[in-house]
Amino acid sequence: MSKSGANFGGTVGWDEQTVIGKRAPRTGDLKSESAIAAAERAGVAIDTSKKYAAGHNKQHEAAKNTAILDRETEELHHDRVNKDVSRTIQQARVAKEWTQADLARNINEKQQVINEYEQGKAIPNQQVLSKMERALGVKLRGKDIGEPLSTGPKKK
């Protein structure tokens, strides 16, 4: 550096010293007591935090309360379509001489949905049941399952 003041790293006075290639200690280096003490003397910010299960593969380990929770909770499962409803859907469809694909196209659903309803594997959806009722002309919900659907005005 010349006395003319031409320097290339910003404004550095004559008394300051620029060190190139020296990095601040990484967090991984500050694990020993002496490294922490040296960092404190140097004025480096130190963050000490205890990490839960640090260094252990605990992500796949079951929690302590899992067994207790399993004993407490009852078996939860979704209700499936009633066998009577499944049979009624199938009989009404056959009476109209429709295939499952025809019924599905008529109510704007996939053929697989009709198949699941007829096999009793589907979880009941009121919208789908309503569409099937209107397309087949048969009640699929309530007490009188299988009765013809009345298309008259609603009773008040």
- pLDDT tens by residue, 78-105: 788 889 999 999 999 999 999 999 999 9
pLDDT at residue 138, rounded to an integer: 92
Average pLDDT over residues 6-11: 55
Q: Rounded CA gap, 125 and 110, in Å? A: 14
Exposed (0-12), middle (13-18) or buried (19+): which is 58, by Cβ within 10 Å? exposed
Q: How many CB atoms lie within 10 A of CB 25?
A: 13
Q: Rounded CA gap, 135 and 153, in Å? A: 18
Do residues 118 and 83 make contact, with C-beta atoms less than 8 angstroms apart? no
pLDDT surpasses 80 at 18: no
- pLDDT tens by residue, 120-148: 999 999 999 999 999 999 998 888 888 88
Which domains are seen in the chain, by residue range?
83-147 (1.10.260.40)
pLDDT at residue 39, rounded to an integer: 80
**What SS3 state is found at 60?**
coil
pLDDT at residue 63, rounded to an integer: 61
Q: Rounded CA gap, 100 and 94, in Å? A: 9
- pLDDT tens by residue, 19-69: 676 666 565 555 677 877 888 888 877 776 666 666 666 665 566 667 676
